[in-house]
């Protein structure tokens, strides 16, 4: 399983993204703030999302762009 270090969009610390090819999912987890984002790598849609202070609905609204675009935008912010 490949693990990629990405910046947590919630608290900004390095978080881990695991690619799950068998499930066609990408799972981003931050152990500092309990952020979780699971997206489908085929459609880019959010499968599951959790972040302290943010509801899943809010996260989905923020992630209407394809995920790599959204993450890149956040990294530059």
Closest CA to 18 of 42, 1, 31, 40: 1
Three-state DSSP class for residue 74:
helix
x/- mask, Zn ion, residues 3-22, rule CB under 5 A, reads -----x-xx-----------
x/- mask, Zn ion, residues 30-69, rule CB under 5 A, reads x-xx-x----------------------------------
Beta bridge partners of 41: none
Closest CA to 18 of 70, 56, 76, 31: 31
The nearest distance, CB 18 to Zn ion, in angstroms, is 15
Which residues lie near Zn ion (CB under 5 A)?
A: 8, 10-11, 30, 32-33, 35
């Amino acid at each position: 399983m490949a693990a990629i270090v990405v910046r947590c969009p919630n608290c900004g610390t390095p978080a881990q993204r695991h690619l799950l090819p068998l499930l066609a999912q990408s799972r981003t987890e931050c152990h500092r703030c309990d952020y979780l984002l699971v997206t489908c790598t085929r459609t880019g849609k959010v499968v599951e999302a959790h972040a302290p202070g943010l509801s899943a609905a809010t996260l989905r609204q923020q992630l209407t762009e394809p995920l790599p675009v959204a993450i890149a935008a956040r990294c530059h912010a």
